[in-house]
């Protein structure tokens, strides 16, 4: 009921903003001043995937539109955790109670770019999708640019589907796969096909990651098995005043408290599922490492994954743990790319490691990793977090990563090259949509190569594009 209340609150503010615009409040972009864009996302929690996505969106859009023609602003929940990120963009604080903040902030900009990958789904938190819809809906209500960039759509609760259908019809959503396009088409949302934006991210050089491995006990010779577990069973997060009051007064539910009035799923059944998942991964990884001499490491791509990593590491003779709480995105992805093999329940661990040729498999809780591995042609490398035969099947998958490494690597690199082209096309769609809304905005003139719609690429990616030009 609290989710519905939040959605109704957001809907009421969007309707109020629309009425204010119709009565003459606010002004649109005019020639002669920079285009002010607000990037609305889930930043400031050390979610490496979310941070990497936004980093590359900013670089791409600034490059395509011209740095002198735009003023970019990013929302963050914690300035300390995004210090050194998003160069050239201003950061503003996103409060936990976001509807009044969005109502006040969005009309000050010429457009909104919604950044969250899991943009339209109930699997994690209805509140997150409500925030994305609120940002897009307020922008369109004020006749501003509204674009969902690299979005994914999954199952949504009926009341959330209503919110999306009503307030995103005038936005453009560029999805990162065809499945998401189809889901949004059912709701009447204008879409184009794109991809994720993390493909162009460049971390610290490989020497940094190798140095960190050496400090953690790696001998410099053994192959490295990277594991990226999560807690897949404590989602979705729900708001609860009752739990909040009990947590504050008695300490009950504190272990499942996500933030303020929001709580993860908890209880004996959740713990049993989680234990089966971790034990299955641990036993398969332990057997593989004993057979191959591999050096196991655990990587927490988000701070929330730290507990899962520490529990898994304890089952692997206290394997080293690298967490986003201790390493920023440039450092953590550099460490990730030292791996020979990767087994991940984090989508962006796979995405950000693929340009370096890391051979990867997925243990997934939703459609994101599933869609990516299907695109690569690697359905046989995909497992579910609730697979009853997880240990045995993961042992087979790990052996496949070892024996078919080169074929998997080549297919993965070809996939990166394809997605770079899709990412360039996203910027074309963005530029065209911008021109329709603001026809006087001075876009670049003449004919441009598709690569010019990407942010500046690293030598690694340039070499990859040359190798897989076809």
**What is the side-by-side strand order in the sheet with 262-263?**
238-239, 262-263, 257-259
Residue-level pLDDT at 440: 95
CA distance linking residue 304 with residue 301, whole number of Å: 8
**Which CATH fold would you assign to the domain 206-236+266-403?**
Rossmann fold (3.40.50)
Residue-level pLDDT at 255: 83
Among 234, 221, 307, CA closest to 269: 234
Among 451, 456, 469, 465, CA closest to 200: 456
Q: What proportions of the chain, in percent to the nearest 5, are helix, strand and coil? A: 50, 15, 35
Residue-level pLDDT at 249: 86
Residue-level pLDDT at 470: 64
Rounded mean pLDDT for each run of 10 residues along the chain, 470 residues in total: 90 97 91 96 94 98 96 97 95 95 97 95 90 98 97 94 97 94 95 97 97 97 98 87 86 84 88 97 98 98 96 96 97 98 98 98 94 95 97 98 97 96 96 96 83 94 87
Helix and strand numbers (H, E) in the chain are: 16, 16
Angle subtended by helix axes 405-437 and 390-403, to nearest 10? 100
From the candidate CATH numbers 3.40.630.10, 3.90.1300.10, 3.40.50.720, 3.30.70.260, the one assigned to the domain spanning 2-200:
3.40.50.720
Residue-level pLDDT at 390: 97
2-200 and 206-236+266-403 in the same fold: yes
The owner of tokens 């309707």 is 15
What Cα–Cα distance (Å) separates residue 20 from each residue in 8, 24, 356? 18, 6, 50
Q: Are strands 35-40 and 111-114 parallel, antiparallel or unpaired?
A: parallel
Phi and psi angles of residue 110, each rounded to the nearest 5 degrees, phi first = -90, -10
Assess contact for 14 and 134: CB atoms under 8 A: yes
Is the whole model's pTM more than 0.85, yes or no? Answer: yes
């Amino acid at each position: 009921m609290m989710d519905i209340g939040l959605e109704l609150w957001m809907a009421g503010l969007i309707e109020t903003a629309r009425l204010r615009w119709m009565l003459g409040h606010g002004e649109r972009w005019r020639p002669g001043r920079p285009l002010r864009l607000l990037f609305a996302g889930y930043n400031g929690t050390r979610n490496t995937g979310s941070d990497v996505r936004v980093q590359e969106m900013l670089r791409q859009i600034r490059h395509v539109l011209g740095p002198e023609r735009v003023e970019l602003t990013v929302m963050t929940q914690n300035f300390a955790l995004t210090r050194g990120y998003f160069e050239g963009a201003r950061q503003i604080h996103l409060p936990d109670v976001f509807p009044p903040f969005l109502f006040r902030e969005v009309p000050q900009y010429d457009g909104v770019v919604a950044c969250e990958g899991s943009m339209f789904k109930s699997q994690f938190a209805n509140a997150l999708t409500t925030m994305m819809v609120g940002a897009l809906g307020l922008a369109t209500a004020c006749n501003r640019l509204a674009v969902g960039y690299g979005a994914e759509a999954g199952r949504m609760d009926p009341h959330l589907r209503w919110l999306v259908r009503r307030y995103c019809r005038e936005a453009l959503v560029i999805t990162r796969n065809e499945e998401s396009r189809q889901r949004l088409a059912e709701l009447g949302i204008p879409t184009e096909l794109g991809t994720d934006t993390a493909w162009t991210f460049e971390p610290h050089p490989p020497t940094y990651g190798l140095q960190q491995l050496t400090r953690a006990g790696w001998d410099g010779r053994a192959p490295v098995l990277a594991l990226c577990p999560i807690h897949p069973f404590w989602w979705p997060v729900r708001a609860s005043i009752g739990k909040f009051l009990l947590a504050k007064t008695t300490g009950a539910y504190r272990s499942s408290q996500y933030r303020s009035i929001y709580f993860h799923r908890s209880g004996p059944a959740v713990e049993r599922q989680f234990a089966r998942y971790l034990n299955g991964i641990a036993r398969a990884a332990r057997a593989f490492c004993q057979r191959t001499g591999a050096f196991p490491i655990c990587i927490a791509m988000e701070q929330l994954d730290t507990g899962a990593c520490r529990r898994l590491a304890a089952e692997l003779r206290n394997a080293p743990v690298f967490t986003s709480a201790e390493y920023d995105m440039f450092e953590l992805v550099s460490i990730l790319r030292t791996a020979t093999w990767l087994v991940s329940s984090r989508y962006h661990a796979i995405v950000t490691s693929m340009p370096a040729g890391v051979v990867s498999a997925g243990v997934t809780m939703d459609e994101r990793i599933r869609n990516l591995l299907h695109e690569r042609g690697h359905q046989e490398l995909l497992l579910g977090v609730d697979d009853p035969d997880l240990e045995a099947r993961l042992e087979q998958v790990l052996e496949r990563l070892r024996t078919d490494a080169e074929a998997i690597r080549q297919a993965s690199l070809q996939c990166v090259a394809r997605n770079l082209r899709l990412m360039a096309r996203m910027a074309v769609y963005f530029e065209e949509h911008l021109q329709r809304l603001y026809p006087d905005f001075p876009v670049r003139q003449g004919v441009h190569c598709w690569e010019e719609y990407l942010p500046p690429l690293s030598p690694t990616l340039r070499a990859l594009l040359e190798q897989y030009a076809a």
